[in-house]
Structure 1
Amino acid sequence: MSENREITRAAGIVGAATMASRVLGLVRDMVTAGFFGAGMGADAFFVAFRIPNFFRRLFAEGSMTAAFIPVYTEYLHKGDEAEARRLLDLCFTLAGIILFIVTVAGVWGARGLVYLLAAGFSRDPEKAELAVMLTRWCFPYLFFIGLVALAMGILNARRHFFAPAFAPVLLNISMIGSTLALVWFIRPPILALAIGVLLGGVTQFLFQLPFLHRQGIRWRPRFDLRHPGLRRILLLMGPSIFGLAITQITILVNTQLASFLEGGTVSYLYYADRLVELPLGVFAVAVGTAVLPSLARLAAAGNREAYTESLFYGLRLTLFISIPAAVALVILREPIFRVLFQRGEFDPESTRHAARALLGYAMGLPFYSAVRVLVPGYYAAQDTVTPVKAGALALVA
């Protein structure tokens, strides 16, 4: 099977699973909007949920996966299965230790994190305290999703794409089910969503285990910081973390500024971002996820011509969808919000505000999509410095 056909097949699997996740995500957001609208509870929850997601994107699903897959794929390409398994054991052990420490620190320092991310909440002590409490419930999600991200990297490197792509569906099911089951009894009602987040992390982790076992993966605790493969992964993670931090800083700045504006602004930005994430996740992220293992194999084999061809094939595939999607979101932004969210606590004024936020996000969709494909190209070649330079220029601009 040619690499382009493999990329198309993998992107189709990831895209289909991601579509299911995004559709359920919209249902989740519709449930959230119906019960909580864009009020104090929703603002507090979205800040609380964003905090572990910031660390997830920075360390777990971002830099760790980007650094791990090329190095692990190189071991597999060489046929050194014993060393590949040893590398997995070392990565799981070190990741578990670090994630546990970060999780404990995050729960303990939740108050500081909330004020760092949403200083404007200090003007409303009740909202601030609610956000702190919700953060303490949501933060342990990071521990489980960090291990899930490593499991995803292993399975993707072994050309198994379904289980990693389907896992987010379980988060949405957990959040929807928790809300519908608990919102009537628990106080404050918004706590039902935070409990759903924690349950979602646990179920995603448990879901990966049978698929890892089928691949012959059995984790054994090992610790050796001198292992050359582990050291290469850690060295690659450094620039990657810095580059991803630049992107995440932009998101944090948006949330920080929104926290000083009228109530509901944080929620408007969240709902707009969720709509842009639908085409971004189904197409751009799917292609980027599918292209990384293929490019890593080609880079390990030194096949530069096929590497370049596959990279630009992925880019063309992504832009073919993302440009029309951006146009549709710009033109239909208000009708989309009216149909999907305008009910219960989410009123016509909320629709107008959220639609304005969507206008700005949608115009950047083709560019966000291109980045999701091009950056894995650099990671596959074990070049994590160039994306950092590009990200720094974007932040300054």
Structure 2
Amino acid sequence: MMTENKKITKAASTIGMGTLLSRILGFFRDMVIAHFFGAGMAADAFFVAFRIPNLWRRLVGEGSLTISFIPVYTEYLTQRSEEESRKVTHTAFTIGGVILLVLTVLGILFSPILIRVIAPGWYTEYPEKFHLTVTLNQIIFPYLFFMGLFALCMGVLNSHRHFFAPAVAPIFLNISIILSVLIFYHAFEIPVMTLALGVLAGGIIQFLFQLPFLRKKRITFRFDFNFRHPAIKRIGLLMVPGLIGTAVYQINVFIDTIFASFLPSGSVSYLFYADRLMEFPLGTFAIAVGMASLPSLSTLATQGKIDEFKETVSFTFRLTSFISIPAMVGLIALKTPIVNLLFQRGVFDYGATEMTARALLFYCVGLWAIAGARTVVPAFYSLQDTRTPLRIGLI
């Protein structure tokens, strides 16, 4: 039993360290954005434009696709032949790539409608901001395609108990955005375009970084349009409730954006910066533990080791609570000094600090509960049960 817990702890440490480095660079990235763009029109436009493809990435890529793929693929790895498991990856990458490509093209074509739905106040009150957001969104949207493929790579590598490459890959996104702004800020008539191009380049690099590690596992890409493959059917059936369940949480973010679009300029940015701070402990600890536990729980479920399965779930929840509760208290108590230290420079003034800190306070109230859910929900996914998390999420 301790062996499985040690595996999870080691994997969570790898994911957590990679996430920590990414978040540190992410805060530096946000400091650069705050310095050059503050919390004004350009920053608001970028945050909304980036939020839409990023939402689809979380829903289709790292969300429902990964959580549906890992349990089924793990079963093939442990119970079937190596050749059969390879066929699963070939078919998943082929069909997944086609779906992602279609979503990307549709997203670019229907960007004006998407932005009008997400930020309705801008269409009527701030037309210049609306059109800028549409343009940025169309540049960023191909990011979804590459991040979806990255999520599949992550699912394969994690199933093979390789966590390093997917964990450190997000670092390249932050580096790409930072360098794009610092190098090309004065090269564009509309400087905020550098952020959009940085996001797109970062997504491409993250995907390409996984390929050498896949080759080491003898995983290659081959076209296989076998829609009738039993594993693909099961992944598809698991994805539907998983997609809806993941969407429930993400929709809350968009509700915030919709309301904020009717508020004074900068409101969307305040929420973004506050959410970034709350996501720091979530990503570094809770999500890391959840991601690390999914392959182990899937293996235990496949082998029918229910007692060990239960103990592993209990262990991961205790581990996450040990970190998330103190983190919640610390963020609430030090909200203003933290925002001041990280963001108050350049055009990001004290007023922006106060508003961001106020938003952070309300976000942090639910931090411990969100962290607990991120840890427990993978237990259901490992049992190939995506319906129960959906029902709970809807409540």
Question: Is 1:138–2:140 an aligned residue pair?
Answer: yes
- Aligned counterpart, 2:277: 275
Aligned partner of residue 152 in structure 1, secondary structure: helix
Give the drift of 1:363.
Answer: 1.3
Q: Distance in 1 between matches of 2:325 and 2:186?
A: 42
- Residue number among 334, 340, 354 corresponding to 2:356 in the alignment: 354
User: 2:323 corresponds to which letter in structure 1?
Assistant: I
Q: State the partner residue of 2:149.
A: 147
Q: Which amino acid aligns with 1:304?
A: I
Deviation at 1:219, TM superposition (A): 1.0
User: In the alignment, is residue 214 of structure 1 matched against residue 216 of structure 2?
Assistant: yes
**Aligned counterpart, 1:8:** 9
Q: Give the drift of 1:190.
A: 0.6
Letter of the 1:163 partner, please give it. Answer: A
Give the unaligned 5+ runs of structure 2: none
* C-alpha distance after superposition, 1:270-320 (max 9, x if no partner): 000000111111100110010000000000000000011011100100010
CA distance in 1, matches of 2:245, 2:292: 21
d(CA) in 2 for partners of 1:246, 1:66:
16
| Number of matched pairs | 393
Among residues 341, 347, 365, which one is paired with 1:339 in the alignment? 341
Give 2:332's match in structure 1, choosing from 330, 335, 358: 330
Per the TM alignment, residue 242 of structure 1 is displaced from its structure 2 partner at its CA by: 1.1
Which residue pairs with 2:127 in the alignment?
125
Which whole-Å CA distance do the structure 1 matches of 2:122 and 2:373 have between them? Answer: 33
1:231-283 Cα offsets, whole Å, 9 max, x none, are 00000001101111211211111110111111100000000000011111110
Measure, in 2, the Cα distance between the counterparts of 1:230 and 1:366.
35
Q: TM-score, normalised by structure 1?
A: 0.98
Greater Cα offset, 67-76 or 1-10: 1-10
Residue number among 377, 380, 385 corresponding to 2:387 in the alignment: 385
State the alpha-carbon separation in 2 of the partners of residues 311 and 183 from structure 1: 48
Which of 362, 365, 383 aligns to 1:363? It is 365
Q: In the TM superposition, what is the alpha-carbon distance from 1:116 to its structure 2 partner?
A: 1.0
Once residues 277 and 65 of structure 2 are traced to their aligned partners in structure 1, the CA distance between those partners, rounded to angstroms, is 27
- Which stretch of the first structure deviates more once superposed, 77-86 or 66-75? 77-86
| Structure 1 residue 79: Cα displacement | 3.9
Q: Which amino acid aligns with 1:261?
A: L
Gaps of 5+ in 1: none
Give a deviation string over 1:67-125, Cα, whole Å, max 9, x none: 00000000011142111100100000001101111101111111111111111111100
- Matched to 1:107, the amino acid is I
Q: How does 1:221-370 map to 2 (within 5 A)?
A: 221-370=223-372
Find the counterpart in structure 2 of residue 20 from structure 1: 21
Range with greater deviation from structure 2 (244-253 or 375-384):
244-253
Q: For residues 63 and 113 of structure 2, what CA distance do their matches in structure 1 show? A: 24
Secondary structure of the residue that 2:351 maps to in structure 1? helix
**SS of equivalent residue, structure 2 residue 162:** coil
Counterpart in the other structure of 1:78? 79
Q: Residue 161 of structure 1 corresponds to which residue in structure 2?
A: 163
Q: Which residue of 2 aligns with 1:30?
A: 31
- Amino acid paired to 1:10: A
Distance in 1 (CA, whole Å) between partners of 2:157 and 2:252 is: 31
SS at match of 2:94: helix
Distance in 1, Cα, partners of 2:281 & 2:189: 35
2:375 alignment partner in structure 1? 373
* Cα distance between partner residues in 1 of 2:355 and 2:257: 15
Percent identity between the aligned chains?
53
SS of the equivalent of 1:2 reads helix
Distance in 1 between residues matched to 2:324 and 2:367, nearest whole Å: 7
Q: CA deviation at 1:184?
A: 1.4
- Determine the C-alpha separation between the residues in 2 that align with 1:350 and 1:218: 49
* Distance across 1 between alignment mates of 2:371 and 2:159: 22
The alignment's TM-score, normalised by the length of structure 2, stands at: 0.99
